[in-house]
Chains A and B, each alone.
Chain A
Amino acid sequence: NAGVTQTPKFQVLKTGQSMTLQCAQDMNHNSMYWYRQDPGMGLRLIYYSASEGTTDKGEVPNGYNVSRLNKREFSLRLESAAPSQTSVYFCASSEAILRDTQYFGPGTRLTVL
């Protein structure tokens, strides 16, 4: 039981490049989330998926897209990376939409040059 896994752990991109951050959970949770964390800002919600087949914008969705591929997987895509997207990205999951403990992945540290 790996919990929430994220790949990659580290990534360096050049401005304008695209990439997808992968997240998977093996806890049969319904809800999944993507956050970014910046110094002094706390965690900010980018997108979330209350259940398979649904996605909704969070606090800071601009510049990102998501796909809830199936119940296990929730990916975050940067179509054209910008330096402002340099951050640590966390994926999380919970049984129900924010009614239960969220379990976080280890994070992906992204640097955009």
Chain B
Amino acid sequence: EDKVVQSPLSLVVHEGDTVTLNCSYEVTNFRSLLWYKQEKKAPTFLFMLTSSGIEKKSGRLSSILDKKELFSILNITATQTGDSAIYLCAVEEGSQGNLIFGKGTKLSVKP
């Protein structure tokens, strides 16, 4: 059965800390891996990864994919209280591009 597992499920850090969120997956026909940030309502797209070893960066956020070991990490440096959110990992699989979501990591950044 296809699955996407995120860890940790929740994390509390202080402003300025660096955090690493993990996403491992087992799917039969991998196409891409996506990271989303969800604060109060709809998730907002962060990154889409399709190739191993190529880091994607956006400000203090970065992500990389390892297709051999079947995982991805999302790094956030110099965290701010505004980074507090649920971070969702999703894997696109199959010919129709079905999305399988992990359960999310709830990040709380304390001042």
Q: Within residues 68 to 113 of chain A, which ones have a CB less than 8 A from any CB in chain B?
A: 90, 92, 97-99, 101-107
CA distance A46 to B41 in the complex (A): 18
* A101 adjacent to B48 (CB under 8 Å): yes
* B96 adjacent to A42 (CB under 8 Å): no
Task: State whether A42 and B88 are in contact (beta carbons under 8 Å apart), knowing that A98-B31, A104-B43 are contacts in the complex.
Answer: yes
CA distance A20 to B106 in the complex (A): 31
Inter-chain contact count A-B, CB under 8 Å? 54
Task: State whether A90 and B42 are in contact (beta carbons under 8 Å apart), knowing that A42-B88, A42-B103, A43-B101 are contacts in the complex.
Answer: yes
Complex: chain A residue closest to B97, CB-CB: A98
Complex: chain A residue closest to B92, CB-CB: A98
Q: Summarize A's interface: helix, strand, loop or mixed.
A: loop
Q: Summarize B's interface: helix, strand, loop or mixed.
A: strand
Our pick among A40, A59, A92, A97 for the contact of B97 (Cβ within 8 Å) is A97
- A45: B residues at CB distance < 8 A: 98-99, 101
Q: Within residues 36 to 90 of chain B, which ones have a CB less than 8 A from any CB in chain A?
A: 36, 41-45, 48, 88, 90
Other A-B contacts than A59-B100, A98-B32, A106-B42, 8 sampled, CB-CB below 8 A, are: A41-B103, A42-B88, A42-B90, A42-B103, A43-B43, A44-B101, A99-B32, A101-B48
